[in-house]
Amino acid sequence: MTQYIIESVAIDFASNGVPENLDSCLNRFEETLSSSEAVDSDDSREFCEALFSALQDNTAEDIDEDSLQPGECEMCERYMPLTKHHLIPRMMHGRMRKHGYDRALLNQTADVCRPCHNAVHRCYTEKQLAMEFNTIEKLMQSAEIYRHAKWASKQPVRSRRVRQS
């Protein structure tokens, strides 16, 4: 049942993003938690508080990752601000450890611009990225990603800052 909760939360995050506040977190996961035998209804609020706290900490780390110095994107080769793309998505690390992957391999990243990073995650699921497209070379052999990178390489460099509220 715990795996069900983890998968439900992960699917929700992929569809709706990270909850903005604790109340939003409670509203979004109330049904999932109430149907679970793993979390008592009294513990639902504590569970959401812990989840939201962990999300805030991890979001801060992601912002740091996304605030890298400008450089050349490994996909489109444009010089612009880069993000770290985990070649094996963090969501899949537990499963991949069971297949014998070590931490060094799991934590390999590629420096890519935000448009290319978004294209990778738009084209493939976390499982596909981990199993089939876990190197830049394999990603670039994909017709969809190759087409995107070729198109992106011809686009003007634009960087959009997101205002934090």
The whole-number pLDDT of residue 110 equals 93
CA distance 52 to 114: 25
Q: How many whole angstroms from its chain centre is CA 113? A: 14
Task: Give the start-to-end residue ranges of the domains of the chain.
Answer: 2-65, 69-153
Amino acid 60: pLDDT: 45
Over the chain, what is the mean pLDDT?
78
**Please, are residues 77 and 112 in contact by the beta-carbon 8 Å criterion?**
no
| Whole-angstrom distance, CA of residue 90 vs CA of residue 105 | 12
- How many Å apart are CA 60 and CA 82, to the nearest integer? 17
Give the residue with greater pLDDT, 165 vs 82.
82
Pure H helices in 35-70: 44-66
Name the one residue in this structure whose structure tokens are 């969501």.
91
pLDDT higher at 142 or 65: 142
Query: pLDDT digit string (tens) for 67-106?
Result: 456 889 999 999 988 999 999 999 889 888 888 888 888 8
Distance CA 21, CA 35 (A): 22
Query: Between the CA of residue 126 and those of 90, 98, 120, 123, 136, what are the distances in Å?
Result: 9, 16, 10, 10, 15
How do residues 95-136 score in pLDDT, each as one tens digit?
888 888 888 888 999 999 999 999 999 999 999 999 999 999
Q: Higher confidence at residue 48 or residue 62?
A: 48
- Compute the distance between CA of residue 134 and CA of residue 72 in angstroms, rounded to an integer: 20
Q: What is the mean pLDDT of residues 38-61?
A: 64
Q: How much is the pTM? A: 0.56
Is the confidence at residue 61, as pLDDT, over 70? no
Name the band, by pLDDT with cuts 50, 70 and 90, for residue 150.
very high
> Which pLDDT value is given to residue 151?
95
What is the per-residue pLDDT for 69? 66
